[in-house]
Structure 1
Amino acid sequence: MDDMEQSRFEKATDKNLPADCVGSVVHAFTVLHAFDLEHREMTLSEVAERIDMTRAGARRYLLTLIFLGYVAQDGRLFRLTPKVLDLGFSYLSTLGLVDIAQPFLNRIARETNETAAIAVLDDRDVVHLARARVQKELAPVVTIGRRFSALYNSTGRVLIAHMADEAIKSFIDSADLTGPTAYSITSRAKLLTELKQIRVQGFAIVDQESELGLRSIAVPILDRRDRFVAALNVITSVAAIPSEELQTRILPVLRAAASEISQALVTD
């Protein structure tokens, strides 16, 4: 779990849960979210420590998740099973957006020879729903379902920029602005200026702010109600494409695809 995701579940598991909120369900999802790239397998003690739960409590939830098929046990170690993907697939199956966007992502990847993806804003994060990869050295890898800080990703910025002014200010005022890299903008005033500029120009470029060596450009997608529901982006390495080329060569391809996807959502 990254810091943003961890803080969300710490807040959800304290004594201030809403009256109608089922605590056991919250705890079960907290256990699932304890596993991540750096914690693929854990002992009972490690799970309990990571989510600040007693060993007895963590054991009950792990055994329940084993019974349901979401967790597997190998000796002292616990790990997630592929069944957890069902949760994501259930969501994706309700989205015509993914089916509509995939051919356009493939086209973007072919025309630019760069990795393309589509993402949505979820609370303070962006989540990738689909992507098209290319076979080339240094090509970034996009993981479906992985969460990233919206403020430091081009898809997140282009969607935040099209919020109402008060919503943008509230988003920034309550955000953790430590930044993932030394290139990240950590000034609230500078972020506000950046988001205003993105709204005017209609695209966002993030240059090594989310990860060293990576830069990306994103444009928004509108639905039939003219709501900014998702964003298309191309992710590349600093060594592969100069920043200026993102606007001159990549941006027109992205804008054309975003326009066609938006039109398809209107008629879908």
Structure 2
Amino acid sequence: MSMDRRTETRLSSMGRGFEIVRALGALSDRGDTATVQSISRELDRDRSQVSRTLSALLNLGFVVRDADLAYSLSWNWYATAQELTDQRLQTVGMTTLDALAADLGQACFLSVLQGDSTVTILESIPADSRMIGSWRGRAYPAFCSDAGRAVLWDATDHEIRAVFSATEFVSPGPNAPASVDDFIDRLRQDQERGYTIVDQEAEPGLYSVAAPVWDFRGEVIAAIQVVGEREALRARTPEYGASVRSAADALSQRLGAALR
């Protein structure tokens, strides 16, 4: 067999493998059992061909088979996808923040939830910003932080109450939520608007808008926020809100999210 022919065969086999992976995902999403027969029907493929490809995927550890001879994707796929997500959150996230900061002329951050706090993992601060020091790696109470409601965007009321079960709602900011119910009410208003507004909740004079970042699982894993002095940001809230939401959506798409 010639080199070109061997390459063509490998590519053809790879294509069949990815077809079956997609079929397994589709059947799983519908709650259907993924057997050789159901996968063959899903793809309109010969059963023997599907069976051979499944055997190869099984040997490689990409699929698993249960006692009922039904197949499912192995956790290797999810582990690989999660690793890629973490890498892109850092690399593409930084590029996204730099572009947003340059466009708006304001400090921009990417934060994640850790316990009942948010932690800044990336930041882009314009050279002429009056913001002093770095927030990277620093934690802040999520109930009043710039990213707090955005990182809990997809959480249920029960999940939010669990996050703040031991939290004292005390903050230097004059407008901070006074309770978990207050936090939830504000989050629901943010969701109707499409982005969060945090007005002097963390400290006096501080203002921010933020939007959630979604991953390939359809879960919020981070938030992008624009933070600055209240007098400078408040009058341009709709513009900044639209920009931060657009940036968060673009990053989400790079992480494999199907936007709603």
Structure 2, unpaired ranges of 5+: 1-82
Is the counterpart of residue 264 in structure 1 residue 254 in structure 2? yes
How many angstroms apart in 1 are the aligned matches of 2:199 and 2:158? 26
1:125 & 1:161 partners in 2: Cα distance?
14
Q: Percent identity?
A: 24
- Counterpart amino acid of residue 110 in structure 1: A
Deviations 1:127-163 (A, max 9, x none): 1111111122533644210001111113111122420
Instruction: Report what 2:244 is aligned to.
Output: 254
Match of 2:184 in 1: 192
Q: TM-score, normalised by structure 1?
A: 0.60
Select 2:201's aligned residue among 209, 215, 221: 209
1:160 and 2:157 matched: no
Structure of greater Rg: 2
Q: Against the structure 1 CA distance between its residues 169 and 162, is the aligned structure 2 distance closer, same or farther, given a 3 Å change threshold?
A: same
Runs of 4+, deviation exceeding 4 Å: none
Change (3 A) 1:205 1:141: farther
1:123 to 94, 115, 128: 115
Q: How much does 1:104 deviate?
A: 0.9
RMSD (Å) for aligned C-alpha atoms: 2.2
Matched, 1:96 2:92: no
> 184-193 vs 224-233, which deviates more?
184-193
**Alignment: residue pair count:** 174
- Which runs of no fewer than 5 residues in structure 1 stay unpaired? 1-90
Match of 1:174 among 166, 180, 183: 166
- Per the alignment, residue 236 of structure 1 pairs with 228
Determine the C-alpha separation between the residues in 1 that align with 2:112 and 2:179: 24
Aligned counterparts of 1:264 and 1:228: Cα–Cα separation in 2: 14
| TM-score for both structures, normalised by structure 2 | 0.61
Counterpart Cα distance in 1 of 2:141 and 2:182: 17
1:221/1:140 CA distance change after superposition, 3 Å = farther
Deviations 1:84-108 (A, max 9, x none): xxxxxxx9x9533111111110110
